[in-house]
């Protein structure tokens, strides 16, 4: 079974375009940018599979994952139910310790049917080569080739730096995560880092389009082309080539080592960053750490057909599971991104404002943010604020239906 999946993963390294699928990206939110050449040239009409919608409600796949995932999903469902967000979740539990990949296959099929998912992190416990990461499998199988983490500081939250506003754009399917490792002779292990023109150009185009459509000024491509001359050299070369279509934007590049130092000492110099898979996760963890940790910021995964929303640093938080201390904000932010993506902007806005008020103004914060409140204190405060807003709620009937 594991072998079958590995073979399928390798097959899906071939981009959808070359397999005859139409290329299109939804553009229902300002930060969801149309980025493929065909969609930008408007040569394609909306012919891809529409996301599942029944009577104005969207069906969304929910993958709670391990660790703190299930409790965070409970909070999201409580908030959605309270404000009548028109979402029906199809909940699928993936247990990585079970034999076979039936649950993973079912989850992927569900996301293909619904188009959108909200996801916790699925822990990869095994060191067996054949036991691949379920998280990586989902991203590869759905060709979710770009990951976006918008690191924007929350005022007043104790952090090493304030006023950070950096958008991290990460290649999400190949690079160092190709999972192609072998022991060529005993004692010598080789690991392949795969960079393709197709994927390097797609992610660079997303970064430049994001910058253009969101009035950003500069894209910085992160690399190690001084050592990995072919792989990172190609990634940088593709970014330089795509930049020619965006002359109004500044494009510079920085070596990953220096990037980590610069991010820690002077993070405000960055605007939009374009990165390979591993550098992307390292830099997003560094920046999230500088702004308050793993519990705040959300991450968005896009392909040409599907979108998956999750906490930005993708941790499982297994050590704090079940203790009522996990910060629910990153997962709530992921659910807000998902509502925006589906066009439910009023619901997204009221939940965002209530969450912002809770942690910034009311200072109801979990221990990771220096507070002494529980996860449920944070959620209850959000519900209290939503309750006070019922009078002015643009779709009061949603509440009345409860
Ligand atoms: P972890 O889950 O131990 O989290 C790192 C730290 O952040 C811990 O101190 C944790 O308590 C804290 N934290 C995380 N979420 C929090 C929240 N909501 N509120 C408060 N504190 C929170 O991270 P680790 O050890 O890096 O990874 C655990 C598992 O996650 C690994 O098995 C790995 O397989 C998987 N993982 C997967 C990634 C992916 O790309 N899919 C990326 C990183 C980890």
Report domain extents, the chain.
48-145+299-402
Per the CB < 8 A criterion, the answer to whether 337 and 309 are in contact is: yes
What confidence score (pLDDT) does residue 55 get? 72
d(CA 325, CA 320): 7
Nearest protein Cα to ligand 1, atom 8: 317
Count CB atoms within 10 A of the CB of residue 401: 8
How many Cα atoms are found within 13 Å in the side-chain-facing hemisphere of 260?
13
Element (H, E) at 215: none
* Cβ 135 vs Cβ 123: under 8 Å: no
Measured CA angle at 297 (ends 207, 142), to 5 deg: 55
Which atom from ligand 1 is nearest to the alpha carbon of 319?
Answer: 11
- Please, which pLDDT band fits residue 194 given cuts at 50, 70 and 90? very high
Q: How sure is the predictor about 35, in pLDDT bands with cuts at 50, 70 and 90?
A: low
The predicted-structure confidence for 267-301, as pLDDT tens digits, reads as follows 999 999 999 999 999 999 999 999 999 999 999 99
CB of 333 closer than 6 A to ligand 1?
no
Give the Å distances, CA to CA, from 40 to 23, 44, 45, 279: 10, 9, 11, 28
Q: Is there an atom of ligand 1 within 6 Å of 295 CB?
A: yes
| Lowest mean per-residue pLDDT among 55-59, 303-307, 371-375 | 55-59
Q: Span 360-379, mean pLDDT?
A: 98
Residue 88, beta-bridge partner list: 59
Q: Is residue 36 pLDDT above 80, yes or no?
A: no
Q: How many angstroms is it from 63 CA to the middle of ligand 1?
A: 16
- Output the DSSP codes for 236-258: HHHHHHHHTT-TTSEEEEEEHHH
How close is the Cα of 73 to the center of ligand 1, in Å?
A: 16
Q: Is the pLDDT of residue 130 over 80?
A: no
Residues 6+ away with beta carbon under 8 Å from 222:
253, 254, 255, 256, 259, 273, 274, 275, 276, 279, 280, 283
Q: Which of 264, 194, 258 is nearest to 222 (CA)?
A: 258
- pLDDT surpassing 70 at residue 402: no
221 CA distance to ligand 1 middle (Å): 26
Q: Are strands 250-255 and 218-223 parallel, antiparallel or unpaired?
A: parallel
Q: Which residues contact 154 (CB under 8 A, 6 or more apart)?
A: 291, 292, 296, 356, 359, 360
Given the CA of residue 72, which atom of ligand 1 is nearest to it? 18
- The confidence score (pLDDT) of residue 282 equals 97
Q: Whose CA is nearest to atom 23 of ligand 1?
A: 315
| Confidence class for position 115, pLDDT limits 50, 70, 90 | very high
Vertex 240, ends 16 and 264: CA angle to 5°?
Answer: 100
Mutate to test the pocket of ligand 1, among 286, 301, 316, 370 (most ligand atoms within 8 A of CB): 316
Q: What is the pLDDT of residue 156?
A: 93
Q: Is the CB of 68 under 6 A from ligand 1?
A: yes
Pick from 60, 147, 148: nearest CA to 112: 60
Helix pair 69-83, 345-356: axis angle to 10 deg = 120
Residue 66 near residue 121 (C-beta atoms within 8 A):
yes
pLDDT at 317: 96
Which residues make Cβ contacts (< 8 Å) with residue 72, sequence separation at least 6? 64, 120, 311, 326, 328, 330, 331, 375
In which band, very low, low, confident or very high, does the pLDDT at 43 lie, cut at 50, 70 and 90?
very low
The per-residue pLDDT for 24 is: 32
The proportion of the chain whose per-residue pLDDT surpasses 70, expressed as a percent, equals: 82
State the Cα–Cα distance between residues 125 and 131, nearest whole angstrom: 9
The rounded Å distance from CA 67 to ligand 1 centre is 9
Q: pLDDT value at position 95?
A: 82
- Average confidence (pLDDT) over 36-57: 57
Q: Please indicate whether residue 296, judged by its CB atom, sits closer than 6 Å to ligand 1.
A: no
Ligand 1 within 6 A of 368 CB? Answer: yes
19 — pLDDT class (breaks 50, 70, 90): very low
Tell the residue nearest (CA) to atom 6 of ligand 1.
317
Q: How many angstroms separate the alpha carbon of residue 313 from the centre of ligand 1? A: 7
Which one of 296, 317, 327, 365 would you pick to mutate in the ligand 1 pocket, going by the greatest count of ligand atoms within 8 A of its CB? Answer: 317
The domain made up of 48-145+299-402 has a fold known as Isopropylmalate Dehydrogenase (3.40.718)
**Quick check: CB of 121 below 6 Å from ligand 1?**
yes
Average pLDDT, the chain: 87
Q: Could you give the C-alpha distances from 308 to 145, 248, 368, in angstroms and in order?
A: 11, 31, 25
**Ligand 1 centroid to residue 188 C-alpha, Å:** 30
Burial 101-130 (b: 16+ CB within 10 A, else e): bebbbebbebbeebbbbbbbbbbeeeeeee
Q: Which of 326, 352, 324 is nearest to 338 (CA)?
A: 352
Task: Count each helix (H run) and each strand (E run) in the chain, helices first.
Answer: 13, 13
Q: List the single range of 141-145, 258-262, 391-395 with lowest mean pLDDT.
A: 391-395
Of 303, 341, 340, give the one whose Cα is nearest residue 22: 303
User: Is the predicted pLDDT of residue 9 greater than 50, yes or no?
Assistant: no
Tell me what pLDDT residue 45 has.
38
Q: Going by CA atoms, what residue is nearest to atom 12 of ligand 1?
A: 317
Q: What is the mean pLDDT of residues 19-23?
A: 30
Compute CA distances 312 → 137, 143, 285, 296, 316, whole Å: 18, 18, 8, 8, 11
User: Ligand 1 pocket: which of 299, 315, 330, 331 to mutate (most atoms <8 Å of CB)?
Assistant: 315
**Residue 40 pLDDT class (50, 70, 90 cuts):** low
3-class state of residue 1 by DSSP = coil
Asked if the model's pLDDT at residue 229 lies above 70, the reply is yes
Nearest protein CA to atom 40 of ligand 1, as residue: 314
**Mean pLDDT for the stretch of residues 202-224:** 98
Please calculate the CA angle 319-360-259 and round it to the nearest 5 degrees: 65
pLDDT at site 178: 86
DSSP bridge pairs for 175: 194
Tell me how far the alpha carbon of residue 366 lies from the centroid of ligand 1, in angstroms: 16
What does the alpha-carbon distance between residue 152 and residue 145 come to, in Å, rounded to a whole number? 23
Model confidence pLDDT, tens digit, residues 86-113: 999 999 998 877 777 889 999 999 999 9
User: How many angstroms does the Cα of residue 317 sit away from the middle of ligand 1?
Assistant: 5
CA of residue 189 to ligand 1 center, whole Å: 27
Is this prediction's pTM over 0.85?
yes
Percent of the chain with pLDDT over 90: 75
Nearest CA to ligand 1 atom 16: 295
Rounded distance, CA 179 to CA 158, Å? 38
């Amino acid at each position: 079974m594991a072998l079958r999946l590995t073979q399928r993963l390798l097959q899906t390294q071939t981009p959808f375009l070359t397999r005859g699928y139409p290329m299109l990206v939804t553009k229902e939110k300002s930060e969801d940018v149309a980025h493929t050449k065909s969609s930008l040239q408007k040569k394609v009409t909306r012919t891809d599979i529409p996301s599942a919608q029944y009577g104005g409600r969207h069906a969304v796949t929910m993958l709670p994952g391990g660790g703190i995932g299930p409790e965070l999903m409970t909070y999201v469902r409580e908030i959605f139910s309270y404000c009548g967000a028109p979402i029906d979740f199809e909940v699928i539990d993936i247990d990585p310790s079970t034999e076979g990949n039936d649950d993973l296959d079912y989850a992927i099929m569900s996301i293909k049917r619904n188009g959108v998912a909200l996801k916790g992190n699925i822990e990869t416990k095994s060191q067996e080569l054949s036991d691949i990461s379920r998280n990586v499998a989902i991203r590869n199988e759905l060709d979710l080739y770009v990951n976006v983490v918008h690191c924007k500081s929350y005022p007043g939250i104790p952090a090493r730096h304030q006023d950070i506003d950096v958008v991290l754009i990460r290649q999400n399917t190949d690079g160092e995560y190709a999972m192609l490792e072998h022991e060529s002779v005993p004692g010598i292990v080789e690991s392949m880092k795969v960079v393709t023109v197709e994927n390097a150009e797609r992610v660079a185009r997303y970064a430049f389009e994001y910058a253009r459509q969101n009035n950003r000024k500069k894209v910085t491509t992160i690399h190690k082309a001084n050592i990995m001359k072919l792989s990172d050299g190609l990634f940088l070369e593709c970014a330089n080539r795509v930049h020619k279509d965006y002359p109004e934007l500044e494009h510079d590049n920085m070596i990953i080592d220096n990037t980590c130092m610069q991010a820690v000492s002077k993070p405000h110099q960055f605007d939009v960053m374009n990165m390979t898979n591993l550098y992307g996760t390292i830099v997003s963890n560094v920046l999230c750490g500088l702004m308050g940790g793993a519990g705040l910021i959300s991450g968005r995964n896009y392909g040409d057909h599907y979108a998956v929303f999750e906490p930005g640093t993708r941790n499982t938080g297994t050590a704090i599971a079940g203790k009522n201390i996990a910060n629910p904000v990153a997962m709530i932010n992921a659910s807000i991104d998902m509502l925006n993506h589906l066009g439910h902007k009023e619901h997204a806005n009221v939940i965002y404002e209530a969450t912002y008020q809770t942690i910034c103004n009311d200072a109801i914060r979990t221990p990771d943010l220096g507070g002494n409140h529980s996860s449920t204190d944070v959620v209850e405060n959000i519900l209290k604020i939503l309750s006070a807003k019922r009078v002015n709620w643009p779709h009061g009937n949603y509440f009345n239906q409860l």
